[in-house]
Amino acid sequence: MNIAVLLSGRGSNLQSLIDAQAHGSLSAEIALVISNVPNVSGLEPARKAGIPVKTINHKDFPDRKAFEDALHVALLEADIECVCLAGFMRLLTESFVKKWADRLVNIHPSLLPSYKGLNTHERVLKAGVRFTGCTVHFVRPEMDDGPVILQAVVPILPDDDPNSLAARVLEQEHIIYPLAVDMIASGRVLFENGQIKIKNAGLPGPPIINPSS
């Protein structure tokens, strides 16, 4: 399965997908990386790995539709079958999302549907919850909405600040994104009544209590 990664910045999730492909644990080919922001560091891992890279700067287009048309054409030209958003900081319109329905995935640094949007770690800490995590999901027109494919839970520690928490969540992002993409590419992700069922899913570990006694 040919996949594209869309990003706007750092690219650590792209790196985790590239690493998984290099280790043979991603049954997909990263065929294109697109950034909507010129010269971001996130493009470097792709260039190093010899993956075709494109910058499609939203500022070069008169409106959202024209920008998304250019994205769509680039994806079609590269025979892309699944699009992975990885820190892509543009909201996509309903029309684009519908064109790629069930072939467009995103990773978000919280346990969706809680804490959609930006500054998740700050809000999680402020709320005083004991767990957060990250989610890979299919994209729907509403922001950070859509059927959940995979989640990882991260406990919050007493001394956490937004940076320490973000770093621990990111470690899990780098595990679940390649895993989820591999599940999609190998045909293990099935839709059942609008929810996702994973074929041959392994059981998770035991429940955890935070703080422990």
Tell me which residues touch ligand GRF (CB under 6 A). 7, 9-13, 42, 86-87, 107-109, 170, 173
Q: What is the distance, to the nearest Å, from the Cα of residue 172 to the centroid of all Cα atoms in its chain?
A: 12
- Nearer residue to ligand GRF within complex by CB, 7 or 139: 7
For residues 125 and 155, the answer to whether their CB atoms sit within 8 Å is no
* 53-55 and 82-85 strand pairing: unpaired
Q: Which amino acid is at 9?
A: G
Catalytic residue among 108, 121, 137, 174: 108
Is 108 a catalytic site residue?
Answer: yes
- Alpha-carbon gap, residue 26 to 31, rounded angstroms: 13
Cβ of residue 144: shortest distance to ligand GRF, in angstroms?
Answer: 9
For ligand GRF, the nearest residue by Cβ is 87
- The answer to whether the CB of 11 falls within 8 A of the CB of 43 is yes
Instruction: Supply the Cα-derived Rg of the chain in whole angstroms.
Output: 17
Nearest Cα to Cα of residue 46 among 74, 70, 73, 22 = 22
Shortest approach of ligand GRF to residue 131 CB, angstroms? 16
Tell me whether residue 80 or residue 165 sits nearer to ligand GRF (CB atom): 165
Closer residue to ligand GRF in complex, CB, 54/108: 108
- What's 131-145 look like in SS3? EEEEEEEECCCCCCC
**Shortest CB 33 distance to ligand GRF, Å:** 11
Which residue number, 33 or 183, has a Cβ lying nearer to ligand GRF?
A: 33
Q: Least separation, in Å, of the C-beta of 146 and ligand GRF?
A: 13
Active-site residue set: 108
